[in-house]
A and B are shown apart, each in its own frame.
Chain A
Amino acid sequence: MRIVLAEDNVLLREGLARLLAEAGLTVLSGVEDPTALLADVGRHRPDVAIVDIRLPPTRTDEGLRAAREIRKRHPGTGVLVLSQYVRVSYTVELLEGGANGVGYLLKDRVTDIAEFTEAVRRVGSGGSAFDPIVINQLVQRRAGDDDPLHALSERERTVLALMAEGRTNQAIADRLDIADRTVEKHCTGIFTKLGLIASPDDHRRVLAVLRYLNA
C-alpha cells in the first residue's frame, strides 16, 4: 500500500510516517501544503492520500478541498481525511463523489495502529472509513419515535453503525465476536426494516446506509 501524506505540523507528519512505516505501509512522500499534495499525488499515483483538513495558506479547509480535487482528478487514489474535529457536513461533501475510496477520521484514531492501518488499507482498496463520532451523530439525530431506526434491535443498530463506518461483514463479525452468518442475518433484517435494497457489494452498501442516515 503506497501513501502520500499531507500534514503541516512536522512533528505529526514524521510521527505519522513512522507509524505507517512500522505497520508495513509505504510512505512515498510527506508534504505540508495542498499544492505539493496535488503535485505528488499526480506524480506517484498512490493508493491512498492521507490529508489533514487545516493546511496552509489559511489553515481553514484547504485539506478538504484538496481531497475533493484528488477524488475528481485521480479516482484510483483513495483519500483519507484527518481532522481534530469531525463534521457531518464535511462527510456529506466527501460522499458527493460516492463512498468508494474515501475516509474521514478524527486524528486521534491514528493512535490505535491496528484500527488505523486497517482503515488506510480499506480506503486504499476502494472501501471507506468514517469516524464513529460522525456515524453516531447521524444515528442520534434520528430521535423521533416514529423513525424506522426505532424498529431496529440494539444489536442491529450496532451492526448498522459499523456498516456505516465502512467495515466489511468479516470485520464486523470479528469486532462483535459473532459468526459471519449472523452478521449477514442482521444486515438483511436492517435493510428490510429500513426499506433499503440489500447490495452484495460492501462498498455500495456503505453509501446506501449513509444516504439513508443523512436523508
Chain B
Amino acid sequence: MRKHPHSRVGPLALAVGVLVLLAPLPLPIHTVLDRLIASGWTAVLIHLVASLPTGRLGTLAMRLVVSLAYASALILLTPLLPGGPPDRLAVDVAMLVVILLGAAVTAMQWLRWRRTSVPGRRSLTPVLSAALVMVVLFLAGNPLWTSTAVVDLTLLKVGLVAVPLAYLANELRTRIERGGVADLVVRLGTTPEPATLQSALAEALHDPTLEVGYWAPESEQYVDAEGRALAPPREPGRVATRVDRGGAPVALLVHDPSLLDQPKLIEAACTAAGLALQNERLTADLGARLVQLAESRRHVLQAAEAERRRLERDLHDSVQQRLLSIPMTLSVAQSALAPDSERARDLIAEAKDMSLAVLDELRALSQGIHPTILTERGLEGALRELTLVAPVPVRLTVRLPARLPAEIETTAYFVVAEALANVTKHANARQAEVRIDQVGEVLVVEIVDDGRGGAEPTGSGLRGLAARAADNGGALDVTSPDGGGTRVRAELPCG
C-alpha cells in the first residue's frame, strides 16, 4: 500500500498568507526586501496553485512554470539597479509575466482535471475552483495593476484564504468519508451477499468501478464472487490494493488510482470489511472445493464402474472359460472309461458336478459385480431383458439420442431392476410401464405400476436406490398412495 505523501500544501498556503500580510502595498516601495515580498507572494501563490491538491509538482512543465514565477519576482528589483528601468515599466512587466504564468498554471490544472477520473475529481474540484476564484480576484484587484485599487485589498486577502479553506474542506471530506466506513460496518453486519460486499465497498470508497477478488489458495489466484479469475490490472488507470489478514492474502481490490491519495480510507474500509472479506473468501473457497469434491466423486464412481466392467470381462473371458474346460474334459474322460470302472465314473461325475457348481457361483458373482447384459447390449437391451422376464406385462419406452456414461447406464439399470422386483413382490399389479427419457442433460427413469401402492420409500431397496442416485448427483422420488399404484422416478444428470 502506498504511503500518503506528506503534504506541502499547508506550508505553502501559510507562506502566501504571511507574505501578503507583510507586503507593503501599494507602491512605492523602497527597500530590496519589501520589493521581494511584494512580488514574491505571487510566485508562492502560483507555486501553491500548481501543486494542488497534493502539494507536489506533478510534471516538468509545472516545475518550469513555478521556477519562472520565482525568477519573475526579481523583476521588481531591476529599477534599483544603476541604469535600471523605471518603476512603472518594471511593475508592468512583472505583472504581465505573473498573469501569463498564472494563466498557464490554471490551464494546466484545468487540463489535468479533464483527464482525471470521476473519483479523482472529487478531491481536485474544490481546490481548483478556489484557485480559479483567487486568480480572478487577483486579476481584478491586484494592487500592482493600478495604484488605485478597484477592489479593496481586504477582499483579495479574503479571497486568498479560499485556497487553504478549500484544501481544508477537502481534508475534512476525506475524514468524513472515513467516517462513512462505519456505515459499511453496519451494512456488512448482516451476512452480505458477495455482490453486496463489492457494492458496499464501492460505495464506501466512492469508486463505482471497484472490483473485489477473493484469494483462492487452491489455484493460488484471486477470483471474483462467481469464481472467475481476477488478475491484477495491467492497463493504466487501474490499480490494485492487496488486503491481507494475519500475513495471508485475503482479497484484492481493483480500483481507480485516485483512491491511492486516500490510503487511510482504503485501510479503514478494508479493516471494516476484513471479516466479511475473509468470510466471503472462505465461502468462495468452500464453493470451489465443493465443485472439486463433486468432480472427484464422479471420478471415483467412473473409476469404480470401469473397474467393475473390467472385472466382469476378465472373469468371463478367462476364468469362467478356463474353468468350464475342466468339466468338459472330465466328460470326455468319463466316456473314455472302460464299462466296468464304476467307481472312477462316479468320482469323475462328482468332480464334474463340483466344478459346475463353482462355475454357477462364479456366474452369480460376476453378475453381481456388473450386469453382464449391460456389457453385451447396453441399457436398452438390458432393460428389454428385464421387462421380458417380469411376471407382469411391462411396456418399455426408451428415448435416448446416444449412449450414456457407463455409471449412469448401470444406475438406471439397477433402478429399473429394483423397481420391477418390487412390482413383482409387493405391488400385485396387472401391468407396469418403464420409461427412459433424456431431457436436456438429465436422464429420467420412470417405473409406474397399477398395483396397490403404499410402498415405503424407507425400505432398504428403495433407500439403496436413492443413495445410488444421489451418488451420481441425481435424485429418486417415490409416489405410492394406498390403492393408487406406485411411481418410482429417478433423475440422473448425464451431461
Contact = CB atoms under 8 A, between A and B. Distances in A.
Interface of A: 9, 11-12, 15-16, 18-19, 22-23, 53-54, 59-61, 84-85, 87-89, 92, 107-108, 110-113, 137, 140-144, 214
Contact of A113 (B316, B331, B384): B331
Interface string B352-377: 10001001100100010000110111
A137 B320 CA distance: 23
Contacts of B373: 85, 87
Nearest to B428: A144
Nearest to B329: A15
Chain A contact residues: helix, strand, loop or mixed: helix
**Smallest CB-CB A-B distances: 7 pairs:** A111-B327, A141-B391, A9-B321, A88-B388, A89-B385, A143-B391, A60-B376
B264 interface: no
Contact of B332 (A11, A113, A140): A113
B384 to A, nearest CB: 5
A89 B381 contact: yes
Given A53-B376, A59-B317, A87 B332 contact: no
B328 A111 contact: yes
B335 interface: yes
Nearest to B352: A111
Contacts of A18: 332
Interface in B401-424: 424
B377 A60 contact: yes
Contact of A9 (B317, B376, B389): B317
B325 A92 contact: no
Interface of B: 313, 316-317, 320-322, 324-325, 327-332, 334-336, 352, 356, 359-360, 363, 367, 372-373, 375-377, 381, 384-385, 388-392, 424
Nearest to A64: B376
B388 A92 contact: yes
Contacts of A53: 376
B34 to A, nearest CB: 109
A11 B331 CA distance: 15
A145 to B, nearest CB: 11
A214 B388 CA distance: 8
B328 A15 contact: yes
28 contacts: A9-B321, A9-B322, A11-B321, A18-B332, A19-B328, A19-B331, A22-B335, A54-B316, A54-B376, A60-B377, A61-B381, A84-B316, A85-B367, A88-B388, A88-B389, A89-B388, A108-B359, A110-B328, A110-B331, A111-B356, A112-B331, A113-B332, A137-B389, A141-B389, A142-B391, A143-B424, A144-B392, A214-B388
Contact of B325 (A15, A61, A137, A143): A15
Nearest to A141: B391
Given A54-B316, A85-B363, A111-B328, A11 B356 contact: no
A112 to B, nearest CB: 7
Contacts of B424: 143
A88 B327 CA distance: 26
A18 B385 CA distance: 34
A84 B321 CA distance: 8
Given A88-B388, A111-B352, A61 B377 contact: yes
A141 B327 CA distance: 31
Contacts of A142: 391
B389 A11 contact: no
Contacts of B372: 84-85
B375 A107 contact: no
Nearest to A134: B389
B362 to A, nearest CB: 9
Contacts of A61: 376-377, 381
Residue of B313, B320, B329, B331 with highest tally of chain A CB at under 10 A: B331
A21 B330 CA distance: 15
Contacts of A113: 331-332, 334-335
Contacts of B328: 12, 15-16, 19, 110-111
B324 A12 contact: yes
Nearest to A215: B393
Contacts of B335: 22-23, 113
A12 B377 contact: no
B320 A84 contact: yes
A107 B325 CA distance: 10
Given A111-B352, A137-B389, A59 B327 contact: no
A11 B328 CA distance: 10
B313 A59 contact: yes
Contacts of B336: 22
Nearest to A19: B332
Contacts of B367: 85
Contacts of A54: 316-317, 376
Contacts of A87: 373, 385
Residue of A22, A85, A143 with highest tally of chain B CB at under 10 A: A85
Residue of B322, B385, B390 with highest tally of chain A CB at under 10 A: B385
Contacts of B363: 84-85
Contacts of A144: 391-392
A11 B317 CA distance: 12
A129 B360 CA distance: 21
Residue of A22, A84, A107, A111 with highest tally of chain B CB at under 10 A: A111
Contacts of A22: 332, 335-336
Residue of B334, B359, B424 with highest tally of chain A CB at under 10 A: B359
Contacts of B375: 60
B329 A108 contact: no
Contact of A11 (B322, B377, B392): B322
A12 B317 CA distance: 11
A11 to B, nearest CB: 5
B241 to A, nearest CB: 61
Nearest to A87: B385
Contacts of A108: 324, 327, 356, 359-360
A123 B372 CA distance: 27
Contacts of A111: 324, 327-328, 330-331, 352, 356
A108 B358 CA distance: 11
Residue of B313, B352, B381 with highest tally of chain A CB at under 10 A: B381
A81 to B, nearest CB: 12
A26 B330 CA distance: 21
